[in-house]
Structure 1
Amino acid sequence: MPRYQGISLLITHYNRSHSLERLLTKMAELDMQFEAIVVSDDGSKPEHLDYVRELATRYFFKLVTTPQNRGLGNNINKGQDAITTPYTLYIQEDFIPLPAFTERLQQGFSFMEADKSIDLVRFYGYFPPLVRPYKDGFSEMYFTLNPFSKGGYAKFYAYSDHPHLKRSSFPEKFGRYREGIKAERTEYRMMISFLQHKGKGLFYNDFQGLLEQYNPTDEPSTIRRGYWRNTGNWAVSFTREVYRHVRFHFDYLFS
């Protein structure tokens, strides 16, 4: 019987077959056995796709492909469509699990089994959203519309495409991922939907202690962010903060 009975692992992949191999190898080393594994490929180059097919014979996963790149939203949607278990652990191929993740995943699963109102459990992030203590190293995310609340616009980041465990019925409550738009917009629109539909989620307090995001020079990140998002120029940074503060509240209320 798999260690994580009732959970399928969903990995999205695009042109980083050796990163995928690294993730699968580490999970095998940690004895992370799932009821099923689905790898959803977003139209990778032939040399990568051929290697992914070879990996499938070693790690026994189901490969879902598309003839051309169709973006993150489509890649998640078609991968999720192939899941038949009650729960989905979603991870992108550039993550590496650390030993502590095995126990915390089991804890997150136990919390969701005990409380059917929990929609997802997050295990990684760049920063925490608004949270209040839950138990055993986890916090419960919460949201307030008060524009002057702690956290500013960062309070909106209750949902993220970073590694998380969710119910496989997630699309029934929050909708499918938006397709035909940039990856960042896809994540943003799901974030807004999660809040609008009163999603309930947990967040692990040591949010960078369970997984490592690894982008080697031979397989760098496929996401390209522009000047507006990355510059440290104070005037641009200030304008960006104000814009996001207003835009996030507007989209939550009116979109």
Structure 2
Amino acid sequence: MAKHHFDRVTLLITHYNRSRSLEHLLKRCIEEELSFEEVVISDDGSKPEHLEYVKGLKETYSFRLVTTPQNKGLGNNINKGQDAVTTPYTLYVQEDFEPTADFAPNFVNAVKLMDTESWDLIRFYTFPWAPFPYLRNYKYGYAEMLYKPDLWHLNHLKFRLYSDHPHLRRTNFFDKFGRYLEGQRGDPTEYNMCMQFILKGGKALMFQGPDLFLHEAGGIEPNTMVRSKWKLSNSALIRLMRFMYLKGKVINSTIKLNKLK
């Protein structure tokens, strides 16, 4: 058994056309001597060459693979993967992340917090250029994520209590927050779950130290998420339009949530 074994926890990995990145993640788990009660890989209709490569990885790594005959999007991929989990807790990780050497001891504390308190989600990563704006120090190096419902709190990241970044959650997550939106692109799917998480009173923690996962550290394969060009442009006009759009979205979403709560 690995040095850091976590029973009652399933590592759920979503995968799409990035089989070498997936292999890198599994390898890094072994290198960090991490093991879980089960590993579930949910594939979103990858190309045959990637799917066959994933199946070949079962000769080296122990996991259960759930598939679909065609690509159905992020929402369906997470839904069917979560449906396959049978343990009380789920560690959700996308295939292009990898754990750091600091993950294991801090994950012990995350499980302890889930066991003894009523947290719904504990996060281990956030993009460095998009930090969550409202945190309150808690314990074990974690901070409580606070949703600020007032309109003068205009940081558009305030809705991101939930994130598809690596996190620990209770496997009955769907019972409280509903299933992921299907048939939409990745960003709207994630944003919809952010809204549901706030609306249903979700409680989340985030690790405050250095991120416990690295994102695309190996640079092995290109990202499969395609975003609109206007979101990536550095044009001064586009940046201004994006700024105004985001502030308008914050106001609209805040009003909508305040009416529904």
- Normalising by structure 1, we get a TM-score of 0.93
Q: 5 Å matches for 1:64-79? A: 64-79=66-81
Once the two structures are superposed, the pairs formed by residues 89-238 of structure 1 within 5 Å of their partners are: 89-115=91-117, 117-126=118-127, 127-129=130-132, 130-149=134-153, 152-208=155-211, 210-214=212-216, 219-238=221-240
Q: CA deviation at 1:246?
A: 2.5
Identity of aligned residues (%): 45
Instruction: Tell me the SS of whatever aligns to 1:67.
Output: coil
Q: Which amino acid aligns with 1:41?
A: D
Hey, what's the Cα distance between the residues in 2 that align with 1:22 and 1:4?
A: 20
Once the two structures are overlaid, the 10-residue window that deviates more, 242-251 or 135-144, is 242-251
Partners of 2:228 and 2:217 lie apart in 1 by 18
Is the aligned partner of 1:29 residue 2:25?
A: no
The structure 1 segments of at least 4 consecutive aligned residues displaced by more than 4 Å after TM superposition are 215-218
Query: What is the aligned residue count?
Result: 252
Moved more, 1-10 or 51-60: 1-10
* Separation in 1, partners of 2:217, 2:232: 18
The 3-state SS of whatever aligns with 1:193 is helix
Shift in Å, 1:253: 4.2
What is the DSSP-based 3-state SS (H/G/I as helix, E as strand, rest coil) of the residue aligned with 2:137?
A: strand
In structure 2, the gaps of 5 or more residues are none
> Which residue identity does 1:136 align to in structure 2?
Y
**Residues 72-129 of structure 1: per-residue CA shift (max 9 Å, x gap):** 00000000000000000000000111110111111111111110x2001000001332
Aligned equivalents of 2:220, 2:162: Cα separation in 1? 30
Work out the CA distance in 2 between the residues paired with 1:178 and 1:199: 18
Q: Is the 8 A contact 2:20 2:220 kept in 1?
A: no
From the superposition, tell whether residues 45 and 239 of structure 1 become closer, same or farther in structure 2 (CA, over 3 Å): same
Moved more, 53-62 or 79-88: 53-62
1:58 alignment partner, SS class = coil
Taking the aligned partners of 2:175 and 2:225, their CA distance within structure 1 comes to: 28
Q: What are the Cα deviations for residues 17-55 of structure 1, in whole angstroms up to 9, with x where unaligned?
A: 111111001101111110010000001111110111111
Closer, same or farther: CA 217–155 of 1 in aligned 2, 3 Å:
closer
1:203, distance to aligned residue in structure 2 (A): 0.4
Instruction: Give the counterpart letter for 2:200 in structure 1.
Output: H
Q: Residue 136 of structure 2 aligns to a residue in which SS?
A: strand
Mapped contact 1:98–1:211 kept (Cα < 8 A):
yes
Q: By how many angstroms is 1:63 displaced?
A: 0.3
Partner residue in 2 for 1:39:
41
Among 4, 7, 22, the alignment partner of 1:5 is 7
Worse-superposed segment, 171-180 or 225-234: 225-234
* Alignment check: 8 A CA contact 2:121 2:204 kept: yes
Shift of 1:227: 1.9
Q: Which amino acid aligns with 1:154?
A: L
CA distance in structure 2 between the partners assigned to 1:222 and 1:214 by the alignment: 12
SS of the aligned residue for 2:234 comes to coil
In structure 1, the partner of 2:247 is 245
Q: Is the 8 A contact 1:124 1:162 kept in 2?
A: yes
**Aligned residue in 2 for 1:14:** 16
Structure 2 distance, partners of 1:131, 1:95, is 24
1-structure distance, mates of 2:237, 2:138: 39
